[in-house]
Structure 1
Amino acid sequence: MRILHTSDWHLGRSFHREGMLGPQARFVDHLLEVVESERVDLVVVAGDVYDRALPPVDAVRLADETLVRLARSRATVVLSSGNHDSAQRLGFSARLIDAAGVHLRTDLAGVGTPVVVHDDAGPVAVHAIPYLDPHAVADPWGLDQRSHQAALTEAMHRIRTDLGARTGTRSVVLAHAFVAGAQPSDSERDISVGGVARVPTSVFDGIDYVALGHLHGAHVLDDHIRYSGSPLAYSFSEASHRKGSWLVDLAADATVHAEFVEAPVPRPLARLRGTLEELLADPAHAIHEDAWVEATLTDESRPLDAMDRLRRRFPHTLMLAFATSRAAVGAPGASLASGRTDRDIAREFLRELRGIEPDPAELAELYRAVDACCADPDADTLVGAASGEGGT
């Protein structure tokens, strides 16, 4: 059986305020092309179809179009909910949609009841585990502990009970969880409970193929336990990721062969670091001029109009950060101290922020602003050296 394993679409999500609905739609086109060109029998989507429980209308429209196209394809589809999804909303009309060959599994009551598909070698039981919030499942399932491991262990107990009643049946499990051995990125929502979110791979012992979702990087934890990762990058921490899906062949003897199918990249990511002049002048950075850029400037003094200047060379700069050896403003050892006048504090703040002393004209404007906000009749007078005149 040929399986296409994908997850974490996050329909409706943006990338640092850049709309991603267009790239997400192009990924759907790519997905359908792979289904047809690679003669895929089964598509499994391991959670986080949407980016939030109340997705925007355009994201719902894209999801609807995607499911309709998948229903018309050659493949059976099994899709589970993730921690970003609303299980109730995603699972609406699931029983009706089942008839179209698209199986939405979002309900706890369905854990342990598989979708059974067949190929020439016989049946394959596909068990989809929706995201299990330990607090939400502890009482209904009578768990002694409120943890991810306890919840998944109980889910797998139900699945093994079902598989134990079947003979000659291969097994596939979908799960949306943080499994030990994989590394997170900055774009996943924390699902830790009591500080413990990871579960061991041993939870899935005995399953022929485990299709994981939640982490946005592709990982191989074991030949038969894999994360597909998100099909698009959703943070600069994913700049080095390969994005795509796993194309998995599940043989008659339950052995697994998998290859990674890369997804289209809407725009490359670049993380640049150096002084502003270095970034603007270095010819080695020419390859990043069309990328989405995160720039970290190491100038001792913050350059004026840094973002505008960067965007003249890198028009798609989205993030700008500063990293210098100077102490942060207000940090221990900084020169802002009690007993200073309002003017002194404002002047020291500007000097600490920029790394240089304000010039006389800047001081004059700064002092006027400070005095305008001060109700104290004994406010400092303007320093003649700064303004050239007296006053309050």
Structure 2
Amino acid sequence: MRILHTSDWHLGRSFHREGMLDHQAAFVDHLVEVVAAERVDLVVLAGDVYDRALPHVDAVRLADEAFARLASSRARVVVTSGNHDSAQRLGFGSRLIDRAGVHLRTRADAVATPVLLSDEHGPVAVYGIPYLDPEALREPWGLPARSHQAVLGEAMSRIRDDLGTRTDGPRVRSVVLAHAFVAGGQSSDSERDISVGGISRVPSRLFEGIDYVALGHLHGAQQLTDEIRYSGSPLAYSFSEADQVKGSWLVDLDDGGLSASEFVPAPVPRPLARLRGRLADLLADPGLATAEGAWVQVTLTDDLRPRRAMEQLRGRFPHTLVVGFEPSAAAGPAVPVARRGVRSDHALALEFVADLRGVPAGADESALLQTACDACAHDPEADVLVAVEGEG
């Protein structure tokens, strides 16, 4: 049986306020092509279909299109809900959709009810574990503690009990989908914290004996063991993921379990680039030509903050999204200066600009600051004096 493992689509998510839906649609096109070209029997999507519990209508429309196209393919599909999804909304109509070969598994009480498939080697039981809230399930499941380990451990216990009843005939191979932070995995900046009591990780030993474990939640593709893997998100959702290769796992099960695996890279509609240096150097460096079509994060190391830095950067790198400032070590960090005496609002604003930037405000900036101070005053004609350090 050939399985394509994907997760964390986060449909509807933006990247620093830039819409990603077209890029996500391109990934769906790629996924459907892989299913056909590689003769995939089963697609597993391990949670976070959407980026929020109440997704935008355009995100719902893309999910509907994706599931319809997969239902028309040669593959069966099993989908679980993640911590970003609304389990109720994603699972709506699941009993009807099952008939189309797309199996939505979003209910905690159904973790031990597998989707049963078969191939020339015999049966395969696919168990979908949605994201499980330890607080919500502590009492109904009689958990000994309010933790991810306790709730996921109980889910796996129920799955093993079900597997134990399937002893007639050939060995039943098992596939488990889970949306969790498993120890050994490396996180990035774009994942939402799911810790309970400061603890979010669960041990990989919870999945011992399962032929393949398709994990979701962490956005970097990674292999914890031969059988336990994260596919990661299909697109980068933070600059911390700039060096990650995005895609899906293509794995084969034979009569003994996992027999082969391959990582299938996803298309990259727009790469990510992180640049660091002085503004003039970045604008002139011919070696940075490849960053001109990328989403760009820039850290400027100029001793003095350049004026219109974003505007200048976008002149060469039009998709610059983030600009930070870290002056060189020689310049040293800005040290706040204790001010004493009585000053007008305008004078304090000018001093703040000079301290922050290292050079005084220009005449046009001074006039703009004066206009702003006047707009905040009860009497625009009054030159309000402010006491500093308790004096005056």
Q: Secondary structure in 1 aligned to 2:224?
A: strand
Within 2, Cα distance between the matches of 1:111 and 1:92?
17
CA distance 1:339–1:260, change in 2 (3 Å): same
Select which of 212, 215, 219 maps to 2:218. Answer: 215
Aligned-pair RMSD on alpha carbons? 1.9
CA distance 1:18–1:365, change in 2 (3 Å): closer
Give the equivalent residue in structure 2 for 1:385: none
Give the equivalent residue in structure 2 for 1:272: 275
Give the equivalent residue in structure 2 for 1:109: 109
Which amino acid letter does the alignment assign opposite residue 13 of structure 1? R
Select which of 271, 285, 288 maps to 1:285. Answer: 288
Deviations 1:276-317 (A, max 9, x none): 101101111111111111111111211111111111101111
Q: Structure 1 residue 70 and structure 2 residue 73: aligned?
A: no
Within 1, Cα distance between the matches of 2:184 and 2:224?
6
Which amino acid letter does the alignment assign opposite residue 192 of structure 2? R
Matches within 5 A, 1:29-48: 29-48=29-48
CA distance 1:355–1:115, change in 2 (3 Å): same
Q: Structure 1 residue 51 and structure 2 residue 51: aligned?
A: yes
Give the equivalent residue in structure 2 for 1:155: 155
Give the equivalent residue in structure 2 for 1:28: 28
Which amino acid letter does the alignment assign opposite residue 178 of structure 1? F
Select which of 154, 169, 172 maps to 1:169. Answer: 172
TM-score by length of 1: 0.92
Give the equivalent residue in structure 2 for 1:17: 17
Within 1, Cα distance between the matches of 2:105 and 2:367?
66
Which amino acid letter does the alignment assign opposite residue 156 of structure 2? M
CA distance 1:128–1:283, change in 2 (3 Å): same
Within 1, Cα distance between the matches of 2:54 and 2:365?
48
Which amino acid letter does the alignment assign opposite residue 269 of structure 2? P
Within 2, Cα distance between the matches of 1:360 and 1:11?
47
Deviations 1:239-275 (A, max 9, x none): 0010000000112111332110011101010000111
Within 2, Cα distance between the matches of 1:170 and 1:90?
27
1:293 and 1:316 in contact (8 A); partners too: yes
Within 2, Cα distance between the matches of 1:360 and 1:22?
45
Fraction of identical pairs, as percent: 67
Give the equivalent residue in structure 2 for 1:316: 319
C-alpha displacement at 1:361, in angstroms? 6.5
C-alpha displacement at 1:353, in angstroms? 2.0
1:224 and 1:256 in contact (8 A); partners too: no
Within 2, Cα distance between the matches of 1:150 and 1:28?
35
Give the equivalent residue in structure 1 for 2:304: 301
Give the equivalent residue in structure 2 for 1:341: 343
Within 2, Cα distance between the matches of 1:50 and 1:195?
25
Select which of 236, 240, 249 maps to 2:239. Answer: 236
1:327 and 1:334 in contact (8 A); partners too: no
Which amino acid letter does the alignment assign opposite residue 245 of structure 1? S
C-alpha displacement at 1:358, in angstroms? 3.2
CA distance 1:150–1:337, change in 2 (3 Å): farther
Q: Structure 1 residue 8 and structure 2 residue 40: aligned?
A: no
Q: Secondary structure in 1 aligned to 2:348?
A: helix
Give the equivalent residue in structure 1 for 2:389: none
Alignment coverage as a number of residue pairs:
377
C-alpha displacement at 1:155, in angstroms? 0.3
C-alpha displacement at 1:378, in angstroms? 7.1
2:9 and 2:48 in contact (8 A); partners too: yes
Q: Secondary structure in 2 aligned to 1:320?
A: strand
Within 1, Cα distance between the matches of 2:164 and 2:51?
36
C-alpha displacement at 1:368, in angstroms? 6.5
CA distance 1:216–1:340, change in 2 (3 Å): farther
C-alpha displacement at 1:370, in angstroms? 4.1
C-alpha displacement at 1:375, in angstroms? 5.9
1:209 and 1:256 in contact (8 A); partners too: no
C-alpha displacement at 1:347, in angstroms? 2.4
Give the equivalent residue in structure 2 for 1:206: 209
1:336 and 1:345 in contact (8 A); partners too: no
Within 1, Cα distance between the matches of 2:221 and 2:311?
35
1:185 and 1:237 in contact (8 A); partners too: yes
Deviations 1:101-133 (A, max 9, x none): 111000111011111100000001101100001
Within 2, Cα distance between the matches of 1:55 and 1:378?
50
Q: Secondary structure in 2 aligned to 1:341?
A: strand
Give the equivalent residue in structure 2 for 1:123: 123
Unaligned runs of 5+ in 2: 386-392
CA distance 1:344–1:263, change in 2 (3 Å): same
Give the equivalent residue in structure 2 for 1:185: 188
Q: Secondary structure in 2 aligned to 1:99?
A: helix
Give the equivalent residue in structure 2 for 1:137: 137
Give the equivalent residue in structure 1 for 2:390: none
Select which of 238, 249, 253 maps to 1:250. Answer: 253
Within 2, Cα distance between the matches of 1:165 and 1:339?
83
2:251 and 2:258 in contact (8 A); partners too: no
Of the structure 1 ranges 366-375 and 175-184, higher mean CA displacement relative to structure 2 is found in: 366-375
Deviations 1:333-372 (A, max 9, x none): 4114354523442222111221113356755664565466
